[in-house]
A and B are shown apart, each in its own frame.
Chain A
Amino acid sequence: MTSLIAFFEGLGLEGVLALSAAYALCIASLLGFITVYAMFAIWMERKVAAHIQVRYGPMETGAWHGWAQSVADAVKLLFKEDLIPPEGNKFLFWIAPAVVFCGVFAGFIAIPFAEGMQIVDLHLGVFFIMAIASVEVIGVIMAGWASNSKYSLFGAVREAAQVVSYEIPAATALLVPILVVGSFRLGDFNAFQADHGWLVLYNPFLTVAALIYFISSLAGCKRAPFDLPEAESELVSGFHTEYSGMRFSFFFLEEYASMFVAAALTATLFFGGWNLFPWGGGWEPAPLAPVILISKIFFFIFVQMWLRWTLPRLRVDQVMAMGYKYLVPWAFVCLIGAAWFEYMGWGGLFS
C-alpha cells in the first residue's frame, strides 16, 4: 500500500489524491481478483462434484472442459430479472447482499500473498479478518428477514446461531498459533514458519487446533456438512430463497470468497504460508511465494468441496452439540496445552 502511494506520488499526485488513487486501484484489482477467482471456483466446484458423482460436469461452453461455463452463468445472472418480494422490506432486501459481500471483501485486504504483497499490513491481521467476517451474519439476517419468506427466516436464524457459535472454537483455535508465534500480524506467521517449520507440526496441540479451525471454518462458510442455512432439502434455499439475478450472485460470490479467506487463514497460520516444505524454508524465490500460497489455498478449497459432495448434512441440534460439546472444549484444551508446551520450552519438530 505504502509503495503504491509512493508510486502515485511519483506520478505527480499529492496527498489525498495519491491515497485515493491507490485505494481505488486496490479495490478494483481486488474486485477483479475475487470475481475471476469465484468464477474459477464455481467451475471447479462443478467439476469436482461431477467427477465425484461419476459424470463430467460442464463440457461444452468454451470448448475445453467447459471452462467458460461460469462466464456464461455470470452473464445470465446479470440479465436475469431482479425480483423483490412485494411484501418484503425493500431497503433491507436491497442492501443485504452488499453487506454480506462487504464483510468478506474487507477480509481480503489483510491477506499477505507474499512479502509486501498485501494491501494493508495490519498488526492485528488475524483479529481483523475474524472480526470483519462476522459482518456477514448481519447481512444474512437482513436478507432472511426482508425476504418475507418463512424459509428465508429459518435459514437466517440458523445461520446466525451457527456462525456465532462456531466463531468461538474458530477464534480459540486461532489463538493457539498466535500464542506460539506471539503476533497477530499475518506476515509474522510466514516468517516464523520459515524458521520453525509448519505450525501444524510444531506441537500436537497445534495439529488439533488446525483441525478444529478447519471444521469451524466449514461451518462459518456454510459448507457441507454444515450447510444448514441453505439446506436445500429442508429450507429450499434458506436465506437466499427469494433472491434472483445479480443479488443472488452476490451471495454466491460471498460464499466462495469466504471459502478463500478461510482457506488462506488455514494455509497461512497452520500450513506454512508461502513456505513450500513442512520443515521450513525461506529460500524459495520470492516470485514463487504467491504461487505456493495460492496452491495451498486451492488445496483446502478442494477439500471443502470434496467434503461437501461426500458427506450428508448434520441436523441443527447436532451442529450445536458438535460446536459446544466437542470443538469449544477441545479448542481450550489446545490453547492451554500449547501454552504449557511453550512455557516448558518444548515443541518445534523442525526447529
Chain B
Amino acid sequence: MEALEMYTVDPNDDVYTEELKLNLGPQHPSTHGVLRVELKVDGEIITASRCDIGYLHRCAEKIGENVTYLQFTPYTDRMDYLASMNNNLAWSLTVEKLLGVEAPERAQWIRVIVAELNRIASHLIAFGTYGIDIGANTPFFYAFRERESIMALLERPSGARMLYNYVHPGGVAHDIEDGWLEDVLAFCDEFEMRWKEYNTLLSHNAIFIGRTANIGVIPKDMALDYGLTGPVLRASGVSWDLRRDVPYLAPYDDLEFDVPVGEGTHGTLGDCWDRYWVRMREMMESIRIIRQACPRVPAGPFMDKAMNRMYKTPLKPEPGEAYMRCENPRGELGFYVVAEGGTSPIRCRTRAPSFCNLSVLDALLPGTMIADGVAIIGSLDIVLGEVDR
C-alpha cells in the first residue's frame, strides 16, 4: 500500500495518529468543476488544506488584449457561465464607461430584467447543487425545472440558452418581442409558488440545518479582509450590495428592493446556512425587481445609434482606463480596462467574485470534517470558469 502516503506526526510516541493526504479533485463530484484541494486529514478531520486552481485557465485576459472590445463580449460569457447576462452587462458597462456613452433607457430596463432573471437562474444552480453536496438529490431537479423556464425566456431575445452574448456595449443586441414581458411576469407568479416548495423540501429540513448551521463561519471582519462579496459577504452581516450602494444602472435607483443579510437564524452569523438562506431570499428580491421593472420598460431604441454605427468598424476608445463593477450573483464582478487608443485594450483585468470568494477556503477548512469541507465549498458557490478565467 505504498500509494497511501502516510504522514506520521510523531512516530516516537507509542500512540500516535497518522495524517493522510487526500486529494479532493480536480475530478471529484462536489468541487463544482475542476477545483483541487489538497487536504491533510486526521481521520475525518481536516488539519490543513491548500487550494490548487488553474485547471480551467484560458488566460481570458490575454485574449482580451488580442480581440476588439465587442469581440470580447462572448468571452465574458464563458467566465461565469451560469450568469452570462451579468457578465455581459459588466463588460458592456465598462466599455461604455471607457467610451463615455450611456445605453438608451429601454436597453437599461431590459438589462435589469435579464440580469435579474439570470441571477435567479444562477442562484437556482447554487441551491440545487448545494442540495447534492449535502446529499439531497431531489432539490437539484426542482431547481433545474425552473431554470429551464428562465433559459427558455432568455432564449427568446438572445437566441441562446446559456451563453447569451446579449448585452452589448451601447445597449442590447436585439429588442425584446411583444408578449415577452407578460411571460416573464407569469413566470414570476409561478416561481413564487415553487420557491415555497424548495423551502419545504430543503431549507428548513432538520438534517440540512444540522449539516450547515455553525459550519464554515466567516465573521464580518474576515469577510471584508478576504475581499468577499455578494451573498457570501452579506451572509456575514455586511449590508453591501452594489445595486443599491453603487447603482451602476439607472433603473436600480427607482426600484424598491431589500438587501437580504445573514441573521444567524440557526447558528452563528455567517455560517453555511446563512449563505444559503441569503441566496434563497435574493431570488425573491429579484422577483420583486422584475415585477416592478416589467411594466416600466419604456418604448424607444434598444441600442445607442452612434454605437451601432461604430460597430461597423472596431471601437477605438480614447486612451484611458476604467474600473467598473457590477453585482453579479456571486459578488462583485469588476473589469479594469486600460486603453491606449487601439482597437483592443492593453490590459483587460477581470476581478472575478468567485476567485476572491474561494481564497477564504484555506482559512475555513482546517478543523472541520471532510463532509463539512464539501458543505463549505458548496456554500461559497464558486464557478471555476470564473476562478480560473
Q: Which residues of A contact B (CB under 8 A)?
A: 49, 52-55, 87, 145, 148, 150, 153-154, 224-225, 227-228, 231-236, 309-318
Residue in A49, A150, A312 whose beta carbon sits within 8 Å of that of B211 in the complex: A312
Interface presence of B308 (CB below 8 A): no
Interface presence of B202 (CB below 8 A): yes
Residue in B3, B28, B134 whose beta carbon sits within 8 Å of that of A148 in the complex: B3
> Please, which residues of chain A bring their CB within 8 A of the CB of B369?
315-317
Interface of chain B, main secondary structure: helix
Residue in B3, B135, B205 whose beta carbon sits within 8 Å of that of A233 in the complex: B135
User: Known interface pairs A53-B142, A233-B29, A234-B371. Does A318 touch B210 (Cβ–Cβ under 8 Å)?
Assistant: yes
Inter-subunit contact B371/A316 (CB<8 Å): yes
User: Known interface pairs A53-B138, A312-B208. Does A234 touch B370 (Cβ–Cβ under 8 Å)?
Assistant: yes
> Please, which residues of chain B bring their CB within 8 A of the CB of A145?
1
Inter-subunit contact B136/A312 (CB<8 Å): yes
User: Known interface pairs A87-B2, A314-B210. Does A309 touch B137 (Cβ–Cβ under 8 Å)?
Assistant: yes
Inter-subunit contact B136/A87 (CB<8 Å): no
User: Known interface pairs A231-B371, A313-B207. Does A53 touch B30 (Cβ–Cβ under 8 Å)?
Assistant: no
Inter-subunit contact A315/B211 (CB<8 Å): yes
Cα–Cα distance between A313 and B133 once the two chains are bound (Å): 9
Inter-subunit contact B374/A234 (CB<8 Å): yes
Within 121-167 of B, Cβ neighbours of A (below 8 Å) are at 131-138, 140-142, 145
Cα–Cα distance between A153 and B44 once the two chains are bound (Å): 12
Inter-subunit contact B136/A236 (CB<8 Å): no
Cα–Cα distance between A53 and B131 once the two chains are bound (Å): 13
Cα–Cα distance between A153 and B135 once the two chains are bound (Å): 20
Cα–Cα distance between A268 and B205 once the two chains are bound (Å): 32
Cα–Cα distance between A315 and B213 once the two chains are bound (Å): 12
Residue in A52, A154, A227 whose beta carbon sits within 8 Å of that of B138 in the complex: A52
> Residues 26-49 of chain B: 1 if any A CB is under 8 Å from the residue's CB, otherwise 0?
001110000000000000100000
User: Known interface pairs A224-B135, A233-B133, A312-B135. Does A148 touch B29 (Cβ–Cβ under 8 Å)?
Assistant: no
Residue in B2, B141, B207, B208 whose beta carbon sits within 8 Å of that of A54 in the complex: B141
Inter-subunit contact A55/B22 (CB<8 Å): no
Inter-subunit contact A150/B20 (CB<8 Å): yes
Known: A145-B1, A233-B30. 19 other contacts (CB 8 A): A49-B138, A53-B141, A148-B4, A150-B4, A224-B135, A228-B371, A232-B132, A233-B134, A234-B30, A236-B28, A236-B29, A310-B201, A312-B202, A312-B207, A313-B136, A314-B135, A315-B372, A316-B369, A318-B207
**Smallest distance from the beta carbon of A141 to chain B beta carbons, Å?**
14
Interface of chain A, main secondary structure: loop
Inter-subunit contact A150/B136 (CB<8 Å): no
Inter-subunit contact A315/B371 (CB<8 Å): yes
Inter-subunit contact B142/A54 (CB<8 Å): yes
Cα–Cα distance between A309 and B201 once the two chains are bound (Å): 11
Residue in A228, A232, A318 whose beta carbon sits within 8 Å of that of B29 in the complex: A232
Inter-subunit contact A54/B135 (CB<8 Å): no
Cα–Cα distance between A234 and B136 once the two chains are bound (Å): 13
Within 4-24 of B, Cβ neighbours of A (below 8 Å) are at 4, 20, 22-23
Residue in B28, B131, B133, B135 whose beta carbon sits within 8 Å of that of A225 in the complex: B135
Inter-subunit contact B138/A314 (CB<8 Å): no
Cα–Cα distance between A49 and B140 once the two chains are bound (Å): 12
Q: Which residues of B contact A (CB under 8 A)?
A: 1-4, 20, 22-23, 28-30, 44, 131-138, 140-142, 145, 201-202, 205, 207-208, 210-211, 369-372, 374
> Please, which residues of chain B bring their CB within 8 A of the CB of A313?
134-136, 207, 211, 371
Cα–Cα distance between A150 and B22 once the two chains are bound (Å): 7
Inter-subunit contact B4/A312 (CB<8 Å): no
Cα–Cα distance between A309 and B142 once the two chains are bound (Å): 12
**Smallest distance from the beta carbon of A241 to chain B beta carbons, Å?**
11
Cα–Cα distance between A313 and B374 once the two chains are bound (Å): 12
**Looking across the interface, which residue of chain A has its beta carbon closest to that of B39?**
A150
Inter-subunit contact A148/B1 (CB<8 Å): yes
**Looking across the interface, which residue of chain B has its beta carbon closest to that of A313?**
B135
**Looking across the interface, which residue of chain A has its beta carbon closest to that of B2?**
A87
Cα–Cα distance between A343 and B350 once the two chains are bound (Å): 77
> Please, which residues of chain B bring their CB within 8 A of the CB of A148?
1, 3-4
Task: Identify the interface centre among A49, A150, A235, A315: most chain B CB within 10 Å of its CB.
Answer: A315
**Looking across the interface, which residue of chain B has its beta carbon closest to that of A237?**
B29
Name the 4 nearest CB pairs between A and B, nearest first.
A313-B135, A53-B141, A233-B30, A312-B136
Inter-subunit contact A54/B145 (CB<8 Å): yes
Inter-subunit contact A55/B207 (CB<8 Å): no
Task: Identify the interface centre among A224, A309, A311: most chain B CB within 10 Å of its CB.
Answer: A311
**Smallest distance from the beta carbon of A22 to chain B beta carbons, Å?**
44
Inter-subunit contact A309/B138 (CB<8 Å): yes
**Looking across the interface, which residue of chain B has its beta carbon closest to that of A226?**
B135
Cα–Cα distance between A181 and B19 once the two chains are bound (Å): 50
> Please, which residues of chain B bring their CB within 8 A of the CB of A53?
137-138, 140-142
A-B contact pairs, 26 of them (CB 8 A): A53-B140, A53-B141, A54-B145, A55-B141, A87-B1, A145-B1, A148-B3, A148-B4, A150-B4, A150-B22, A154-B44, A225-B135, A227-B135, A228-B371, A231-B371, A232-B135, A233-B132, A234-B30, A234-B370, A234-B374, A309-B137, A312-B134, A313-B207, A314-B210, A316-B44, A317-B44
> Please, which residues of chain A bring their CB within 8 A of the CB of B202?
312
> Please, which residues of chain A bring their CB within 8 A of the CB of B131?
312
Inter-subunit contact B138/A87 (CB<8 Å): no
**Looking across the interface, which residue of chain A has its beta carbon closest to that of B372?**
A315
Inter-subunit contact A310/B138 (CB<8 Å): yes
**Smallest distance from the beta carbon of A308 to chain B beta carbons, Å?**
8
> Please, which residues of chain A bring their CB within 8 A of the CB of B211?
312-315, 318
**Looking across the interface, which residue of chain A has its beta carbon closest to that of B132?**
A233
**Looking across the interface, which residue of chain A has its beta carbon closest to that of B373?**
A234
Cα–Cα distance between A118 and B238 once the two chains are bound (Å): 67
Cα–Cα distance between A310 and B207 once the two chains are bound (Å): 11
> Please, which residues of chain B bring their CB within 8 A of the CB of A225?
135, 207
User: Known interface pairs A233-B132, A312-B202. Does A87 touch B3 (Cβ–Cβ under 8 Å)?
Assistant: yes
Task: Identify the interface centre among A228, A231, A236, A312: most chain B CB within 10 Å of its CB.
Answer: A312
> Please, which residues of chain A bring their CB within 8 A of the CB of B372?
315
Cα–Cα distance between A224 and B211 once the two chains are bound (Å): 14
